[in-house]
Amino acid sequence: MLPLKEVDQPTPQPSGTRVPDQVKAAGVCHSDLHIWEGGYDLGHGRKPLSLKDRGVSAATGRWGMRPWARLLAFGPDAEGPTPAV
């Protein structure tokens, strides 16, 4: 398994209705652990659901539930509160 690590990347310039954010904290639930392990045991003797077979890995995607994030910018077509720059 890949270790969790903090990644610092430049803020993307949003287009359309996109709104990039910076996640400060998030809870991790049991379903996140299945992704970390690479799949789900479907039970009843069925073949395990492999995320790799579907092009998904622990390194691609956002983890956690109910993230606490800062909105960094708004695309030109997005509507909402002012970003916390």
pTM of model > 0.85: no
Note the pLDDT tens digit of each residue in 35-83: 677 777 778 888 877 877 877 766 655 566 677 888 888 899 998 776 5
- Amino acid letter, 9: Q
> Six-digit token pair at 27?
């809870």
Note the pLDDT tens digit of each residue in 5-28: 777 888 788 999 998 888 888 777
> Six-digit token pair at 59?
């390194």
